[in-house]
Amino acid sequence: MITTPTILLVEPTFYDVSYSINPWMDPASWARDPRGMHRNATRAFESLHAALQQAGFTVEAAPGAPGLPDMVFPANAAVVLDGRAVLARFRYPQRRGEEVPFEQIFENLRQRGLLDEVTTLPEGCYQEGAGDCIWDAGRGHFWAGFGPRSSRVAADAMSAHFDREVVALELATEQSYHLDVCFCPLSGGEVLYYPPAFTEASLRDLRARVPAHLRIEATEDDLRHFSVNAVNLHDQVVMTRTTPHLRAELGGRGYHLREVDLSPFMLSGGGAYCMTLRLDRSSGVTAAAGAAAAA
Distance CA 78, CA 76 (A): 6
Contact 110/162 with Cβ under 8 angstroms?
no
Distance CA 277, CA 107 (A): 15
Segment 89-108, which members bind ligand ARG (CB under 6 A)?
95
From edge to edge, which strands make up the β-sheet containing 6-10?
58-62, 6-10, 277-278
Residue type for 199, please? T
At residue 121, what are phi and psi to the nearest 5 degrees? Answer: -80, 160
Segment 110-169, which members bind ligand ARG (CB under 6 A)?
131
Output the smallest distance, CB 269 to ligand ARG, in A. Answer: 4
Segment 5-24, which members bind ligand ARG (CB under 6 A)?
21-22
Output the smallest distance, CB 265 to ligand ARG, in A. Answer: 8
Query: Looking at 70-78, 230-238, 243-251, 278-286, which segment touches ligand ARG (CB under 6 A)?
Result: 70-78
Taking CB under 6 A as the rule, which mask of x and - marks residues 257-286 in contact with ligand ARG? -----------xxx---x------------
Residue 195 CB partners (closer than 8 Å, separation 6+): 203, 217
Nearer to ligand ARG, 214 or 218 (CB): 218
Nearer to ligand ARG, 6 or 276 (CB): 276
Nearer to ligand ARG, 198 or 214 (CB): 198
Contact 179/167 with Cβ under 8 angstroms?
no
Output the smallest distance, CB 208 to ligand ARG, in A. Answer: 25
Q: Which of 115, 134, 144, 181 binds ligand ARG (CB under 6 A)?
A: 181
Buried b (16+ CB within 10 A) or exposed e, 135-150: bbbbbbbbbbbbbbbb
Which residues here bind ligand ARG, judged by CB under 6 A? 21-22, 25, 70, 73, 75-76, 95, 131, 178, 180-181, 268-270, 274
